[in-house]
Chain A
Amino acid sequence: MTTLDVDVNNGLVGKAITRQNVKRLIHGRGRYTDDISVPHMLHIAFVRSAHGHALINRIDTSAAESAAGVVRVVTGAEVSEVCEPMIAVAAHRPGHKSAPQHALAVDHVCYQGEPVAAVVATSRAEAEDGADLVVVDYEELPPVMDIMEALDPSSPPIHPGLGDNQCFEHTTVTGDAATALAAADFTVEQDFEFGRHTAVTLEGRAILAHWDKVEERLTVHHSHQSPYQMQDVFSRHLGIPEHKVRVITPDIGGGFGLKINVHGEELAVAAVSKILEKPVKFTADRLESFVADCQTRDHLGTAKIGVDANGKITSMDFENALSVGPYTAYIRFGLAEGMMAITCAAAPYALTDYHARTRVAYVNKGIVGMFRGVGVPIGCTVTEVLVDQAAAKVGMDPVEFRRINYHRDEDYPLVSVGGYAVKSMSLHRCLDTCIDIMDYESLRADQSAQRERNVWRGVGVATFVEAAAFGPVYYGPSGARVSTQDGCTVKLEPSGVVRVMTSVTDQGQGTLTGIAQIVGDQLGIEMDAIDVIAGDSATTPYGGGAWASRGMAMGGEAALQAGKALKGNILDLAASVLQTSAEALTLEKGEICDVASGEARMDLAELAKVGYFRQDTLPSGSQPELMVTRHHVPDTPYYVANGVQGAHVEVDVDTGFIKLLGWWVADDCGRVVNPLMVDEQIRGGVIQGIGNTLFEHSQYDETGQLLNASLADYLLPMSAEMPDIKIGHVETPLTDTEIGANGIGESGTIGAIAALWCAVNDALRPLGAQVSRQPFTPEHILEVISAARK
C-alpha cells in the first residue's frame, strides 16, 4: 500500500484550513429546509397520540376540515393506501422480530406522540389550529414501560403478531468466562443503568416534499444525513420510479445520527404531497422533537470482571438489556445499540474469556434509533468502570493497571473477545499522551491534598475504541439497503478550477473542506480553485451520506482516487498538447510542469481550453476526459479508531453537584486531514457525552407520558458549566487506504461518557460509593453516598 505521495502534495492535507462553506452560516445566510418556500406550498401539523398505547376506534376530522385555512386532513388509513409500511427484519439475525410500522398510525398507537393524522393548511399556525379540532376516539391498552417487564414472556405483547415483546437476543461466547471468573483472584461486579435520552438537534427534523403531477416527479428538500437512502425509501414506499425521485439536503442544523433514521412523518409528508398534488412542508417543533424523534440508549446491565494475582484481567461477563420503543428504527433494525455494546466491551484489553448477552425489548416509549456512538458508549463505559474498580481492588494505579492489561503493540492484528477485528491500535501511545497533557501526577497530588480538606476530587482516565465507516461485509448480509461505499466526481472546469461532487454529506463537521483539501493535493491546486457540491441524490455520486464517522475515511479516499485519476487524464492530455510523455509532467500550483526542470509549461485553464474548445488542435481520435468518478468500497467490516480521555471533577458530597475542572483527549483517528475540524469534532463530541452523562434523560411515567418534553425540563450542557478541552493527537494513518483517515465523529462522545463515570467514581471511592445510574443527578450522587454510609 502506498502512502500519500508527498512529492506531488502541496500540503493542504494536514493543515488547519477554515471551512469553505461556513461563512454563509456565520452571516445569517444559511439555507435550512424550513427557510425554503415554493409557490402554492401547504403546511402540515400532525395529530399525535395522546397515549402510550391504545387502539384507534374512530377519527373525526369534520371540525378540523371546516376550520380556517385547513385544506384537508389525511389520516393514517389514507396514507397507507399510497405508502407501504416500514418493515425492518434483519436477514442475518435469525430470531429478530419486527412489526410493520405505518407512516401514520392506522388503528393502533404504540407511543405517546406517534403521528396519527396530518392536518394540511395554508399556514403552520392554521394547521396546528386544525390539529386541535381533530377528535380521535382511543381505547387505551395497558402500556409496557419497563425493560425487564417487557422481556418477561408473560407481559402483554405490544404487537400480538410477534408473540412477545422481545425483539432480539444475542449471546457472544469467547473462551469460558464462568470458569475463569470462578478461578480469578479478584472479581468486581457492578450494575449499570443508562437512561434514555434524545438527540436534540437544534434544527428540528424538516422536510419539504413536492409532487409534480404533470411529470410525476417527487422533489424533496430534507434535513437528512443521506439523500440517497431517502431517495430509495420514497421510491419504494410510494411506488415512484427511482429516477423520478430527487432528494436534496440543504444546510442541516445538526444531525448526530438522528437524521439518518427514517421517521414516519417524513414518509407521510411525501405521501400527502402525492395525495394532494401540492408541495407540503413539515418542520418538527421542540415538543414534537422530544416525543417523536428517535431516542437513544436506555440500557440496563450487570457486568463482572476477573483478575489474576498478577493484576491481569482474565475474564468478563456482561449481561445487557435495552428497549427500542415499539418499533425498530427504519431502515436499520434496532440491533446496533445492543450488539455494539457487547461487541466493543473489553476491546482494549487482552483478556481471554468473555461471555455477553444482549436482549432487546419492545416498550411503549419513543423509537430508539441511531445516535452518535450507537451502543459503544455503553460497552466502553461498563468496561472502563470495572477496570477502575478492579485496579482499586488489586491496589494498583488505574493508569498502570491499564498499561499492563492493554493489548501489546506487537499483538496485532487480533480479534477482541467481543469480536472486534482490529488491525492495529495505538492504546499505549494514546495513554502516554493523555497522561502527559493532563499532568496526571499533579492531579493525583492535588487529589490527596484536597481529601485532607474533605474536598472530593476525582480523576478519570478512560480508553475508547470506535469502529468507524462500516463496510459491505458488515451491512450487506443484513439485507438492508444501506450503501456502505462512497463516491466522488472531480471535474475540471474550462477556467481551470475544479468542481467536486461527493456522496458524503456535511452537517457542520467540515467534511467537504477535507474533501477539497484531498483533491487539491492530488491536483496541485489551492482551496480557492475548488468548490465542493454535496447533498443532491440526482447529481452527486451514489453513496452512504453521513453516518458511522465515515466522511474522511470513505469519502476522503474516494476523493483522493478521483483526484488522482483526473490528474492522470490531465497529464495525458497535456502530454499530447506539449508533445511529450505524461510521465515527464506533473501538476503544481495550478500549472502543468516539467518534472525534470520544474519549469511550468501551461496552466490548467489553457489545458481546459484545449480540452473543451480546441479539440481541433489535438491528434485525430483524441477524447479528453476531464471529469472522473471513483468510489471507495472498504474490504474490511469497519476501521477501528482509538484514544484515551482524561476527566477531572469535583463532587460536592452535600449537594450532589458535580463540577468539571478539566478535560483532556488523546485521539488517534488515523491521518488528520484538517486538525481544526478534527479538534472541533472531538470537543463537540465530548460535550455531548458530558450532557448525556450528567443531564439528559427522557423520562416517561408508568402510563407512557413523556414528562420532560421541553428545553426547560430536559437539561443540556450550556457554556457556563462546560470545561475547556485540551487535545493531543496520535496519528497512525490507516494502511487500508491511501488517505489513511479513520473515524472521528463519535469518539469524543464515546470516551467522554466513560471518562466521566470513572472520574466521579474516583472521587467517591474513599467514601465507599460508586455511581450506577446515568444521568448522574444530584439525587443519585447523594443516594449512593448515603447508601455507602449505612
Chain B
Amino acid sequence: MEEEKIEISLSVNGSRVTKTVPVRRHLVDFLRLDMELTGSHLACEHGVCGACTVRVDGAAVRGCLMLAAQADGAEVVTIEGLSDSGEVADLQAEFELRNAAQCGYCTPGMIITSAELLAAGGIPDRDTIRDHLSGNLCRCTGYQAIVDAVEQTMKKRAAT
C-alpha cells in the first residue's frame, strides 16, 4: 500500500515552505529528508536524548515526537537558521572556546535548548543550568564545559 500523504505549509528558518509529506513522517525526518537540513540529529526517536531539539513557534521541542503534519502553519527554526540569525553567536563562541562540543552530535540540540534559557534572561546558578539541560544527552563531554559555556554567556549578556 502506498504511504498516505498530506500537504503542509509552514515556515522553516524564515522561508515559506509547502510540501506533500507522508502523514507518519516526524518533524526531524521532514527537516532532514525533505528540507535537507541535516543539522537536527536523531539519536533515540523516543523523546529522551534531545539531539533532535528544534524551535517550534518559539519553544524548544523534541522534533522526533512531533509529526511534520502537526507543524502545518508553524514557525520552525533549526540549528542552521538559529546559527545564521546570529542570535546565539556569543553562545557558540563560548562552546568553541571551552571545547563544549566533542563529537558534536548533541550540540545543535544543546544550543537550541540553551537558547531557551538565554532568552529567559538573568544569571541562573549552575544547578539551574544543569537542570535545564538535563533532557539533552551528551555522551562525550561530561557536561561541565557546556554548563560553563552557558553560564559565561549569561554573565556576559547581563554585563552588557
Contacts and interface: CB of A to CB of B under 8 A. Distances in A.
Interface of A: 18-19, 22-32, 34-35, 68, 123, 125-126, 200-204, 251-256, 285-286, 507-510, 676-677, 680, 683-688, 710-712, 716-722, 724-725
Nearest to A21: B104
Contacts of A711: 44, 46, 48-49, 137
B46 A710 contact: yes
Given A26-B83, A680-B99, 15 more contacts: A18-B99, A27-B39, A32-B105, A202-B137, A251-B104, A253-B41, A254-B140, A286-B45, A510-B99, A685-B142, A717-B143, A721-B134, A722-B130, A724-B147, A725-B144
B125 interface: no
Contacts of B101: 22, 25-26, 508
A719 B79 contact: no
Contact of B133 (A27, A32, A719): A719
B113 to A, nearest CB: 10
A680 B41 contact: no
B39 A684 contact: no
Interface in B29-80: 32-33, 38-46, 48-49, 51, 78-80
A143 B96 CA distance: 49
Interface residues of B, number: 60
B142 A256 contact: no
A692 to B, nearest CB: 12
Nearest to A23: B96
A719 B96 contact: no
Contact of A683 (B49, B95, B136, B145): B145
Interface string B122-143: 0000110111011111111111
B146 interface: yes
Given A202-B103, A725-B144, A27 B137 contact: no
B49 to A, nearest CB: 6
Nearest to A716: B137
B111 interface: yes
B102 A680 contact: yes
Contact of A718 (B41, B129, B135): B135
B67 to A, nearest CB: 13
B154 to A, nearest CB: 16
Given A29-B80, A683-B144, A711-B44, A201 B130 contact: no
A19 B44 CA distance: 28
B80 A28 contact: yes
Given A27-B79, A254-B140, A722-B143, A712 B99 contact: no
A22 B140 CA distance: 14
Contacts of A203: 41, 43, 103, 105
B140 A710 contact: no
25 contacts: A19-B99, A28-B39, A28-B78, A28-B80, A29-B39, A32-B105, A125-B25, A201-B103, A202-B139, A251-B104, A253-B103, A254-B103, A286-B43, A680-B102, A680-B142, A683-B144, A684-B141, A686-B142, A711-B48, A711-B137, A718-B143, A719-B131, A719-B133, A719-B134, A722-B144
A176 B90 CA distance: 63
B11 interface: no
A32 B104 CA distance: 10
A10 B80 CA distance: 37
A763 B99 CA distance: 34
B27 interface: no
B105 A26 contact: no
Contact of A27 (B46, B51, B83): B83
Given A26-B95, A26-B111, A508 B46 contact: no
Contacts of B3: 68, 125-126
B6 interface: no
A604 B137 CA distance: 45
A508 B130 contact: no
Contact of A710 (B22, B44, B135, B142): B44
A725 B80 CA distance: 32
A125 B102 contact: no
A22 B104 contact: yes
B95 A125 contact: no
Contacts of A718: 134-137, 143
A27 B107 CA distance: 9
Counting chain B CB atoms within 10 Å of each CB, which of A252, A255, A680 scores highest? A680
Contacts of B99: 18-19, 22, 510, 676-677, 680
Given A28-B79, A508-B103, A509-B102, A22 B96 contact: yes
Contact of B104 (A30, A125, A255, A721): A30
A345 B1 CA distance: 60
B5 to A, nearest CB: 12
B156 interface: no
A28 B41 CA distance: 9
Contacts of A725: 142, 144
B144 A202 contact: no
B17 interface: no
Interface in B88-110: 92, 95-99, 101-108
A127 to B, nearest CB: 13
B103 to A, nearest CB: 4
Contacts of B44: 286, 710-711
A508 B144 contact: no
Lowest 7 CB-CB distances: which A-B pairs, in order? Answer: A25-B104, A28-B39, A508-B102, A28-B79, A253-B105, A687-B142, A720-B134
B104 A712 contact: no
Nearest to B129: A719
B24 A125 contact: yes
Nearest to A691: B139
B37 to A, nearest CB: 8
Contacts of B135: 718
Given A680-B141, A687-B143, A253 B104 contact: yes
A23 B93 CA distance: 9
A197 to B, nearest CB: 13
Given A286-B46, A711-B49, A26 B136 contact: no
Contacts of A507: 102-103
Contacts of B140: 254, 508, 680, 684
A203 B79 CA distance: 17
A202 B82 CA distance: 22
B48 A712 contact: yes
A719 B79 CA distance: 21
Given A125-B22, A202-B49, A711-B48, A722 B142 contact: yes
A254 B143 contact: no
A202 B39 contact: no
Given A18-B96, A687-B143, A719-B147, A202 B41 contact: yes
Contact of B142 (A22, A26, A31, A683): A683
